[in-house]
């Protein structure tokens, strides 16, 4: 009897420690972005206005800009935001997740380059992209892509979202 009570208490303690550890990490680790991921991402969001923001831990302007994206995501519930960590060298998923969590983006869909041959991943996204970060692609419900190079002007993103919202309204006859 004492052995079973001790086993239950030990299991409870181990579970509590595990829950505390899980509770401290709000952001999920990013999904691995590898060959074919861009096509999967596009299919998953087809017909929905989607903003894909490319950033990196090794990109100073990206880190400064991330909290602004967090504020925009909180402000605009119509924003479908996908974050893609596109560092030339793969970064630790826990560092990426912690950075996004601090910026208020812990619950946003997030991916990270996992292939050391990142050039082929970039080529799948846009054959003309040289890898500069930050970069934002606004993909309209019709599949039209608008690219913002450098730190994004969020006023342009808001205007694009407004245009996308009105483009779905039925026409009056």
Q: Residue 120 sits in a domain of what CATH number? A: 3.40.30.10
Domain that holds residue 30: 25-167
> In percent, how much of the chain has pLDDT > 70?
81
Domain-embedded: residue 14: no
pLDDT in tens, 60-119: 999 999 999 999 999 999 999 999 999 988 899 999 999 999 999 999 999 999 988 899
User: With bands split at pLDDT 50, 70 and 90, how would you rate the model's confidence at 169?
Assistant: low
Q: What angle do CA 65, 70, 73 make, to 5 degrees?
A: 125
Q: What angle do CA 83, 88, 94 make, to 5 degrees?
A: 55
Indicate if the pLDDT at residue 22 is higher than 80.
Answer: no
Element housing 107 (H / E): none
Tell me, what's the pLDDT at 141? 95
Tell me, what's the pLDDT at 56? 97
Work out the mean pLDDT of the chain and round it to a whole number: 85
Indicate the number of domains in the chain.
Answer: 1
> In percent, how much of the chain has pLDDT > 90?
76
Indicate if the pLDDT at residue 47 is higher than 70.
Answer: yes
Q: Nearest 5°: phi and psi at 32?
A: -75, 125
Helices 118-125 and 37-44, axial angle in degrees (round to 10): 30
Domain-embedded: residue 138: yes
Element housing 68 (H / E): helix 60-75
Domain-embedded: residue 67: yes
């Amino acid at each position: 009897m004492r052995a079973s009570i001790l086993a239950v208490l030990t299991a409870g303690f181990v579970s509590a420690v595990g829950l505390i550890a899980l509770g401290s990490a709000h952001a999920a680790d990013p999904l691995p972005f590898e060959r074919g991921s861009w096509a999967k991402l596009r299919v998953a969001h087809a017909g929905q206005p989607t903003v894909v923001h490319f950033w990196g831990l090794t990109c100073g302007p990206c880190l400064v800009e991330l909290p602004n994206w967090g504020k925009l995501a909180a402000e605009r519930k119509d924003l479908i935001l996908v974050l893609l960590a596109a560092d030339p060298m793969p970064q630790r998923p826990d560092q990426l997740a912690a950075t996004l969590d601090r910026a208020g983006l812990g619950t946003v869909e997030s991916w990270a380059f996992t292939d050391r041959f990142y050039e082929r991943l970039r080529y799948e996204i846009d054959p003309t992209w040289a890898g500069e970060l930050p970069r934002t692609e606004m993909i309209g419900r019709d599949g039209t892509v608008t690219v913002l190079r450098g730190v994004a002007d969020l006023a342009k993103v808001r205007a694009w979202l407004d245009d996308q919202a009105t483009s779905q309204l039925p026409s009056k006859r």
